[in-house]
């Protein structure tokens, strides 16, 4: 049986965590497991509660951040510390139900690398203000990333160690972990899970997370297509600019030689000069990005590909 690492991010959840750990222990009793709880700079007494819980149970490992770094950082720290073959991530506010874990693991055993929870019944009472935006966001992320999931925002997901250990998380990118797993060659699916609204504390995100998600998505699209060849993106934009420059120049010259308009009578020379500059800058940016990409890989002796297996080496 694979060993499990349960990763739990915790920010101001003092009231709920005793119950959470009770439920987790009950569900996990048949497994070999560790629980890695990351206290993300809570301002309440979450940390004291955690120390109490961990004192009597060596399954529970604690990481205490110096300050609040955000859910992505907390999950990242948990992933890095995990020793299990399978990593389970779950929210600490009891919106996710630990009782769903066995079901997700069973699905994983069918040959998947990631099984994502899908809180089918979330926001049922706030159709217009929450459910619809969430539906649209998940549709958009699915179609841009090519990884079709109904609930990117659900933390409760299980991952095989191989596809998630090397994933690099920055900013608020935890929502896109399945996409990064796909980039590592992972096979991804989803399962409906239970959902219970928060009883204690309050949510750390509002509807205004949307614009951040859009920007992150843009970045993901860029990284997916051009991470290993940024010159094609920036150089492409540069070439487009040069084309506009040539067209503007040609038109200005045409007006001049046919005697219709002098150079100073149209904005065309200015446009040509502007696009020339943009074109040069774009190409230079492309070269710079290529150098950065090389530094990124070569500084860690990494390669921009993952080998599945080798034979007769």
Task: Note the residues at the interface with ligand UDP (CB under 6 A).
Answer: 9-11, 13, 40, 68, 70-71, 74, 91-93, 95, 153, 155, 203-205
Q: Residue 76 binds which one of Mg ion, ligand UDP, none, with CB within 5 to 8 A depending on kind? A: none
Q: Quote the least distance from Cβ 175 to Mg ion, whole Å.
A: 13
CA gap 60, 2 in Å, rounded:
18
Q: Which two tokens stand for residue 115?
A: 């099984």
Shorter beta-carbon distance to Mg ion: residue 200 or 246? 200
- How many other CB atoms sit within 10 Å of the CB of residue 207? 9
Question: What is the CA 308 to chain-centroid distance, rounded?
Answer: 23
Q: Residue 216 binds which one of ligand UDP, Mg ion, none, with CB within 5 to 8 A depending on kind? A: none
Q: Which two tokens stand for residue 19?
A: 């119950």
Q: Residue 72 binds which one of ligand UDP, Mg ion, none, with CB within 5 to 8 A depending on kind? A: none
Q: Quote the least distance from Cβ 198 to Mg ion, whole Å.
A: 6
Q: Residue 190 binds which one of Mg ion, ligand UDP, none, with CB within 5 to 8 A depending on kind? A: none
Shorter beta-carbon distance to Mg ion: residue 93 or 113? 93
Between 83 and 112, how does the x/- string for binding to Mg ion read (CB under 5 A)?
----------x-x-----------------
Q: Which two tokens stand for residue 287?
A: 């070269």
**CA–CA–CA angle 205, 191, 148 (5° rounding):** 70
Q: Residue 153 binds which one of Mg ion, ligand UDP, none, with CB within 5 to 8 A depending on kind? A: ligand UDP
- Kindly list the distances between the CA atom of residue 215 and the CA atoms of 90, 100, 160, 212, in Å, as whole numbers in the listed order: 25, 32, 28, 5
CA gap 206, 169 in Å, rounded:
21
Q: Which two tokens stand for residue 263?
A: 């150079």
Q: Residue 34 binds which one of Mg ion, ligand UDP, none, with CB within 5 to 8 A depending on kind? A: none
Are the beta carbons of 35 and 59 closer than 8 angstroms? yes
- Report which secondary-structure segment, H or E, holds 62: strand 60-64
Between 167 and 206, how does the x/- string for binding to Mg ion read (CB under 5 A)?
----------------------------------------
Shorter beta-carbon distance to ligand UDP: residue 11 or 183? 11
Q: Quote the least distance from Cβ 105 to ligand UDP, whole Å.
A: 20
Cβ neighbours of residue 136 closer than 8 Å, sequence gap 6 or more: none
Residue 13 touches Mg ion, criterion: CB under 5 A? no
- Kindly list the distances between the CA atom of residue 294 and the CA atoms of 2, 25, 78, 157, in Å, as whole numbers in the listed order: 37, 45, 29, 33
Q: Quote the least distance from Cβ 69 to ligand UDP, whole Å.
A: 7
Q: Quote the least distance from Cβ 132 to Mg ion, whole Å.
A: 19
| Total residues at interface with Mg ion (CB under 5 A) | 2
- Kindly list the distances between the CA atom of residue 227 and the CA atoms of 26, 148, 182, 184, 303, in Å, as whole numbers in the listed order: 44, 22, 15, 14, 12
Q: Which residues pair with 4 in a beta bridge?
A: 33, 86
Let me know how long the chain is. 313
Q: Quote the least distance from Cβ 51 to Mg ion, whole Å.
A: 23
Q: Residue 92 binds which one of Mg ion, ligand UDP, none, with CB within 5 to 8 A depending on kind? A: ligand UDP
Shorter beta-carbon distance to ligand UDP: residue 17 or 283? 17
Put residue 111 in one of left, alpha, beta given phi > 0 → left and psi -120 to 50 → alpha.
Answer: left
Q: Residue 205 binds which one of Mg ion, ligand UDP, none, with CB within 5 to 8 A depending on kind? A: ligand UDP
Binding site for Mg ion (CB under 5 A): 93, 95
């Amino acid at each position: 049986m694979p060993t499990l690492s349960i990763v739990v991010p915790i920010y101001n959840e003092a009231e709920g965590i005793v119950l959470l750990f009770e439920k987790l222990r009950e569900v996990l009793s048949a497994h070999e497991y560790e629980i890695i709880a990351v206290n993300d700079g809570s301002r309440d007494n979450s940390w004291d509660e955690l120390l109490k819980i961990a004192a009597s149970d060596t399954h529970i490992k604690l990481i205490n951040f110096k300050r609040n770094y955000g859910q992505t950082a907390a999950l990242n720290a948990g992933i890095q510390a995990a020793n299990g073959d399978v990593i389970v991530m779950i929210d600490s506010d009891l919106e996710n139900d630990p009782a769903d874990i066995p079901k997700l693991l069973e699905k994983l055993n069918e040959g998947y690398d990631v099984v994502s929870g899908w809180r089918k019944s979330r926001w049922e009472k706030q159709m217009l203000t929450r459910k619809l935006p969430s539906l649209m966001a998940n549709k958009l992320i699915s179609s841009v990333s090519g990884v079709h999931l109904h609930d990117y925002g659900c933390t409760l997901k299980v991952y095989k160690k191989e596809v998630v250990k090397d994933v690099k998380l920055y900013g608020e990118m935890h929502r896109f972990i399945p996409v990064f797993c796909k980039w590592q060659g992972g096979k991804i699916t989803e399962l409906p899970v239970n959902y219970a609204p928060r009883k204690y504390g309050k949510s750390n995100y509002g509807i205004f997370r949307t614009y951040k998600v859009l920007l992150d998505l843009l970045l993901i699209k860029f990284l997916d297509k051009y991470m290993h060849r940024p010159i094609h993106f920036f150089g492409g934009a540069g070439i487009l600019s040069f084309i506009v420059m040539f067209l503007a120049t040609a038109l200005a010259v045409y007006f001049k030689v046919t005697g219709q308009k002098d150079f100073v009578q149209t904005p065309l020379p200015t446009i040509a000069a502007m696009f020339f500059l943009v074109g040069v800058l774009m190409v230079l940016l492309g070269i710079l990005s290529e150098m950065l990409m090389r530094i990124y890989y070569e500084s860690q002796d990494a390669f921009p590909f993952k080998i599945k297996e080798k034979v007769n080496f």
